[in-house]
Every structure is written in C-alpha cells, then in structure tokens.
C-alpha cells in the first residue's frame, strides 16, 4: 500500500509539470484541475480505507520506522487531505475564472502545487523532523505566493508574515533538536512510546510548551497571531481562500496531532494555559473583525477567532472536546474559504470590498446572497448549519469537563461573530447607497458563484447530515487520542529489514 504518499507526490509532480511546461496556456490549467480532482479522489479513497479507525503506514525507502521516515495516514489525516484538496480545487478554478490565462502570473500554478505538497505532507507525516521539512515547504511556497503578485505596499504588510514565521521555523528546529536529545528519536510513534514508558519530569512539559508555541505561531494563537490579520488581505482572492481556509488550520491540526498522539496526555498546566489563551484569541479575533471596514480584513480576523475556538475545545483534552475541535476545524475549512470567495465575488460586482462602497447585491444577485447567508450564519453557529454542531459539542464537552468560564466565553464569542457577519450583510447586500453600481453584466460572477456553491453544498451537507459528519469526527478524534493503537500500527510496519536489524 503506497497510497499514503500519493497526496504528497501528486501535487509535487503537478508542480514540476506545470513549471516546465513551456508556454503558459489553457492546457496547464486543465492539467492542474485534473490533478486536483485526482488528489481529491485519492483523499476520498484514503478516508474510505481508514474508516473506522484503521491506520495506514508507509515507510519510505521501506525502512522501518526507527531508521527511516514513515508516512502515517489515519482518519483525521485522510479527511484533512480530502478537504484541503477540495478547497484547493475550488479556489484554483475560481482563480481561473477570475483571470484569463494570458494575464495570470505564470508562477502561480506551480507554487500553489508546491504549497499543497507541503500541506499534505504535514497531514501525512509521522516524523517530527519530516514535519519540519513539510512546514518549510509550505512556508517557503507561501512566502513566494505572498510576494508574487504584490506591489510595494503589499510587501510591507507581508513582511511580518515572513519574519514571524522564519522565527517560528528557527524555534521549530530548536524544538526538534531538544526533542531528539530528550527522547532519542524523532518518530511520532517512537516519541509516544517513550513518553508512555519513561519517567517524566517538568522537562517534557517544557519541551511540549516549546512545540506548542511553534505551532501556536503557525495557527495564530494570541498574541502570536499578529502576523496574520494584516498580511492575508494583501493576497489575491483565490489565494486568500486557500490560505485562510487551509494554512492556519494546518497549525491547529498539528497541535491536535501533537497533543493527542505524540505528547503525553497529562500536561495539566499546559492544557489550562492553552485553554485560557485560546479564549483570549477567540475574543481578540472577534473584536478585531468588527474593527475592520472591509470584507477581507473582517474575514481574516475571523480566522484568528475561529482558531481560538478550536484550540479551546482541544484544551479540554477529552474525546468529546477533541471531536468538537475536529468538527469546527472541518467546518471552517469549507466555510471560511467559501466566505472569502463569496466576498471576492461581491467585491468583483461592486469593484471594491470596502463596506462603505458596496451595496445593492441582495436585489440583483440573490443567489450570491443565499450562499453568503448560509455560510455566514454557519460561521456564527446558527443551527442547524455546520457551525452549530461544533459549538454544541464544545459546550457539551466543556460542561462535562467543568470549564464553565470557557464555555461561557465560547458562547459569547458567537455574538461577536454574528455582529460582524450582520455588518457585512447589511452593508453589502441590503444597503442601497447612491452611486454604487453593481456590474451584473460582468459574466464572471455567475461562474464564480457556481463554483463557490460546491463548497456551500459541502458545508450544508455537514450541517444537515450532522449524523455522518459527527460520527466521522468522533471516530477521528478517538483515533488521534489512541496513542497505543498508533504506536502499534507503526511498529507493525516491518519494512525491508523484516523488523530485525542485523
């Protein structure tokens, strides 16, 4: 079974093909779209073969886990792979519609594929240093994309992104070194086994704290989030959807993976600390979103807020809490990126995404409005849309864990979200100010709306078909928390040495 490598290799190969294709043209776009479709299909295949609770392990070079690098795909990773491919597909096609091939940047397509390779490797890897490499692939591609089509002004706002994340990388490599010196291995399963076996003191907690900080930078935990809200809005809309929908969620995924699978479960102080900061993150993000007068800014700040909610749920460290985090994570992947795309379409119609210069969309383009309404209310956690179920589970898990303060906070944040969503809705769709023109004659918006509808359907399905959605989430969370099962699965992979080293 070599499938675990497919999500990484497919985009890598696509990147190389599109990079060396000769001239830019429509053919490149077809290849990309086809490849993304294939990646999505692979993701679906992986989900089906990992549900329920099976773990696929692939040792690269057929080395056993202790010598080589293993790719490990469980249900959690598989779903992340699938959703990422889907979001990428939609964002990419949206980008194709937005700009004719003759005027789009030739490097954008290969760089997105490199980025995807990095992201997918993050989900699939079972090795800490390999995770670092994946992060590097992802980050360097994102730097390149961030600056690719930027003018001088954009670059100024992109700089903190690069600077802070470089610092994060440096910190990560320090963390890798310390983990190696502490556990003697970098393999997830190896670390997990040794934490289960060895006698621990505060040093393990300290190193975990370091890793958490690293991933916190990537995820956008307060006050490490500062790089995010201003740099993201400088991106073109399709990239913004990809970044906003997927990139920060990678950080959350890694935190879930690290706290659930790799590190010991009894890091009490650390979890409490995470919970507190997560709540602050959610509130700060919500308030920041209200302070922004343009759609991209509002949504970018909301990323921070949502990340706070997810980490809040993670901090309970109960199966239900983790399942709640997983649900919010998946729901956000679909909803957040589609909101960016909807905002982009609205901005295309109004020729600006500044709320004071928009309006009149509800009477002209109701379908876009319906999409926005569904996704925005979902983000605010209005039942029975997909966002509600995550919130419902967070509250349940929190009450079970006795964290009344965190629960109250997480409910209160919904008001902030609702507020800023209503703000966008009123200004963009309902208001009819003089002098604002809606360019309905521009044919692109129809196709864009159609593309976004795919994501909306996915999120609606998550909401109304909550039974299947929650069952997968609970199963995935259980898999993440099952350290012994994970270790067993990895150790059963014997590789070409047959498990014995001469």
Partner 1 sequence: MLLLALGLPMVGSPFLALAGRRLGARVGWLALILPVMSTVLLGVLAMDRSLPARWGVELPWVPTLGLNLSFLVDGLSLMFGLVVSGMGCLVIFHAIFYLGTDYAHLGRFYSYLALFMGAMLGTVFADHVVLLFLFWELTGVTSFLLIGFLHGEEKSRVGARQALLVTGSTGLALFAGVMLLQRATGTSSLSVLLERGLPWGERGGELSLAMVLMLVGAFGKSAQFPFHFWLPNAMAAPTPVSAYLHSATMVKLGVFLVARMYPLFVVSPLWLPLLGTVGFTTMLLAAVLALVSHDLKSILAWSTISQLGFLIGQYGLGPVGGVGHDQLHLLNHVLYKGCLFMVAGVAMHATGLRDVREMGGLFRRLPLLGMAAVLAGGSMAGLPGTLGFLGKEAMLADLFQPLRDGASPWVLYAVGCAGVASVVKIAFSLRLVTGVFFGKEPDGVALQYHAPGLGMQLPALLLAAGSLLFGVWPGLLDGLFGQWAVEGLNRPKPLAVWHGWSVELFTSAGMVMMGVLLHEVGRRTGWRGWRIPGVLQADKAFEWLVERFQGWTKVWTRGLRADRPADHLPIVVTFVVMALGAGLLGLVPGLAERLWPEDVGMDPLRTGVAGLIAMTVVGVLVLRRWTAQLISLAVSGFLTCFYFVLYRAPDLALTQILVETVTLILVLLLLARFPNSAQVGEETRRPGRWTHYFHIGLSLATGCVATGLILVVTSAPHPEPLGARYLEQTVPLAKGSNAVNTLLVDFRGFDTLGEVTVLVVATLGCLGLLMRYKRTPEETRQGPLGPPGFGVEEQRED
Preceding amide of 384 cis, omega within 30: yes
Q: Which of 229, 235, 226, 318 is nearest to 271 (CA)?
A: 318
- The residue from 313, 377, 438, 490 that contacts partner 1 (CB under 8 A) is 377
Site for partner 1 in 378-417 (CB under 8 A): 382-384, 388-389, 392-393, 395-396, 399-400, 407-408, 411-412, 414-415
**Minimum CB separation from partner 1 for residue 166, in Å?**
8
- The residue from 38, 44, 99, 461 that contacts partner 1 (CB under 8 A) is 99
Site for partner 1 in 227-246 (CB under 8 A): 227, 229-230, 233-234, 236-237
**Residue 34: CB partners within 8 Å, gap ≥ 6?**
none
The radius of gyration of the chain's CA atoms, rounded to the nearest angstrom, is 22
Site for partner 1 in 20-39 (CB under 8 A): none
Note whether 435 binds partner 1 by CB under 8 A.
no
Piece of the chain touching partner 1 by CB under 8 A; list 255-263, 347-355, 445-453, 481-489: 347-355
Output the six-digit token pair for 370.
Answer: 């319906």
- The residue from 294, 445, 486, 493 that contacts partner 1 (CB under 8 A) is 294
Q: What is the dihedral of CA 285, 291, 295, 301, to 10 degrees?
A: -10
Please, which residue, 41 or 143, has the CB nearer to partner 1? Answer: 143
- Rounded distance between C-alpha atoms, residue 333 and residue 87, angstroms: 7
Helix (H) or strand (E) holding 70: strand 70-73
Note whether 436 binds partner 1 by CB under 8 A.
no
**Residue 314: CB partners within 8 Å, gap ≥ 6?**
252, 255, 256, 259, 274, 278, 321, 322, 325
- Rounded distance between C-alpha atoms, residue 426 and residue 81, angstroms: 36
Please, which residue, 282 or 347, has the CB nearer to partner 1? Answer: 347
Please, which residue, 400 or 484, has the CB nearer to partner 1? Answer: 400
**Minimum CB separation from partner 1 for residue 15, in Å?**
8
Burial 308-333 (b: 16+ CB within 10 A, else e): bbbbbbbbbbbbbbbbbbbbbbbbbb
Preceding amide of 52 cis, omega within 30: yes
Piece of the chain touching partner 1 by CB under 8 A; list 331-339, 360-368, 446-454, 485-493: 360-368
Note whether 362 binds partner 1 by CB under 8 A.
yes
- Rounded distance between C-alpha atoms, residue 220 and residue 20, angstroms: 35
Note whether 299 binds partner 1 by CB under 8 A.
no
Please, which residue, 188 or 227, has the CB nearer to partner 1? Answer: 227
Strand runs (DSSP E) across 176-257, as ranges?
none
Please, which residue, 41 or 265, has the CB nearer to partner 1? Answer: 265
Other Cβ atoms closer than 10 A to 382: 19
- Rounded distance between C-alpha atoms, residue 60 and residue 40, angstroms: 22
**Minimum CB separation from partner 1 for residue 45, in Å?**
22
Site for partner 1 in 62-91 (CB under 8 A): 63, 66-69
Q: How many CA atoms lie within 13 A of 45 on its CB side?
A: 13
Site for partner 1 in 173-192 (CB under 8 A): 174, 177-178, 180-186, 190
Beta bridge partners of 294: 354
Note whether 117 binds partner 1 by CB under 8 A.
yes
Please, which residue, 84 or 420, has the CB nearer to partner 1? Answer: 420
Q: Which of 422, 429, 432, 430 is nearest to 376 (CA)?
A: 422
Site for partner 1 in 439-478 (CB under 8 A): 466-467, 470-471, 474
Site for partner 1 in 211-230 (CB under 8 A): 213, 217, 223-224, 226-227, 229-230
- The residue from 31, 45, 167, 457 that contacts partner 1 (CB under 8 A) is 167
Note whether 268 binds partner 1 by CB under 8 A.
no
Note whether 437 binds partner 1 by CB under 8 A.
no
Note whether 290 binds partner 1 by CB under 8 A.
yes
Binding residues for partner 1, rule CB under 8 A, total 134
Please, which residue, 85 or 224, has the CB nearer to partner 1? Answer: 224
Beta bridge partners of 59: 70
- The residue from 198, 272, 437, 440 that contacts partner 1 (CB under 8 A) is 198
Angle at 36 between CA 225 and CA 340, to 5 degrees: 40
**Minimum CB separation from partner 1 for residue 54, in Å?**
20
Note whether 129 binds partner 1 by CB under 8 A.
yes
Note whether 316 binds partner 1 by CB under 8 A.
no
Note whether 162 binds partner 1 by CB under 8 A.
yes
Note whether 148 binds partner 1 by CB under 8 A.
yes
- The residue from 171, 173, 176, 454 that contacts partner 1 (CB under 8 A) is 171
**Minimum CB separation from partner 1 for residue 392, in Å?**
7
Please, which residue, 226 or 454, has the CB nearer to partner 1? Answer: 226
Q: Contacts from 157-166 at CB under 8 Å and sequence distance 24+?
A: 157/230, 157/231, 157/233, 157/234, 158/231, 158/234, 160/226, 160/227, 160/230, 160/231, 161/227, 161/228, 161/231, 163/227, 164/217, 164/224, 164/226, 164/227, 165/139, 165/217, 165/218, 165/227
**Minimum CB separation from partner 1 for residue 17, in Å?**
14
What is the dihedral sign for C-alpha 481, 125, 201, 172?
negative
């Amino acid at each position: 079974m070599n499938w675990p490598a497919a999500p990484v290799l497919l985009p890598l190969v696509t990147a190389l093909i599109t990079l060396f294709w000769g001239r830019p043209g429509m053919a490149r776009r077809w290849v990309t779209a086809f490849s993304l479709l294939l990646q999505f299909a692979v993701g679906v295949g992986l989900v089906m073969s990992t549900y329920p609770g099976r773990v696929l392990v692939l040792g690269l070079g057929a080395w056993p886990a202790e010598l080589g690098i293993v790719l490990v795909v469980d249900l959690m990773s598989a779903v992340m792979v699938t959703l990422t491919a889907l979001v990428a597909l939609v964002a990419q096609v949206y980008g194709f519609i937005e700009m004719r091939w003759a005027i789009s940047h030739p490097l954008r397509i290969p760089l997105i594929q490199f980025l995807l390779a990095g992201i997918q490797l993050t989900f699939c890897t079972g090795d800490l240093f390999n995770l670092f490499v994946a992060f590097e692939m992802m980050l360097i591609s994102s730097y390149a994309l961030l600056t690719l089509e930027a003018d001088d002004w954009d670059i100024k706002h992109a700089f903190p992104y690069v600077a802070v994340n470089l610092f994060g990388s440096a910190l990560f490599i320090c963390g890798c070194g310390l983990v190696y010196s502490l556990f003697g291995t970098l393999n997830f399963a190896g670390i997990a086994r040794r934490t289960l076996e060895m006698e621990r003191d505060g040093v393990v907690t300290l190193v975990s704290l370091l890793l958490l900080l690293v991933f916190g930078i990537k995820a956008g935990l307060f006050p490490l989030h500062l790089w995010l809200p201003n740099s993201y809005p400088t991106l073109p809309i399709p990239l913004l959807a990809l970044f906003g929908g997927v990139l920060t969620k990678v950080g959350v995924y890694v935190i879930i993976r690290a706290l659930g699978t790799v590190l010991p479960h009894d890091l009490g102080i650390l979890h409490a600390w995470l919970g507190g900061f997560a709540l602050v993150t959610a509130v700060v993000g919500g308030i920041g979103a209200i302070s922004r007068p343009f759609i991209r800014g509002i949504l970018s700040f909301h990323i921070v807020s949502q990340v706070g909610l997810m980490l809040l749920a993670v901090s309970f460290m109960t199966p239900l809490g983790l399942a709640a985090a997983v649900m919010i994570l998946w729901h956000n992947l679909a909803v957040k990126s589609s909101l960016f795309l909807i905002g982009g379409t609205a901005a295309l119609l109004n020729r600006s995404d500044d709320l004071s210069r928009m309006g009149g969309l509800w009477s002209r383009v109701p379908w876009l409005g319906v999409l926005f309404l569904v996704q925005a209310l979902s983000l605010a956690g209005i039942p029975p849309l997909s966002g509600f179920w995550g919130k419902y589970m967070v509250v349940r898990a929190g009450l079970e864990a006795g964290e009344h303060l965190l629960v109250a906070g997480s409910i209160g944040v919904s008001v902030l979200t609702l507020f800023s969503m209503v703000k966008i809705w009123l200004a963009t769709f309902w208001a009819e100010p003089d002098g604002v023109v809606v360019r309905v004659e521009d044919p692109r918006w129809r196709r864009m709306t159609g593309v976004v509808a795919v994501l909306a359907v996915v999120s609606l399905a998550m909401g109304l078909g909550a039974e299947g959605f929650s069952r997968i989430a609970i199963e995935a969370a259980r898999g993440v928390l099952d350290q012994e099962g994970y270790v067993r699965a990895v150790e059963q992979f014997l590789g070409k040495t047959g498990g014995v080293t001469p």
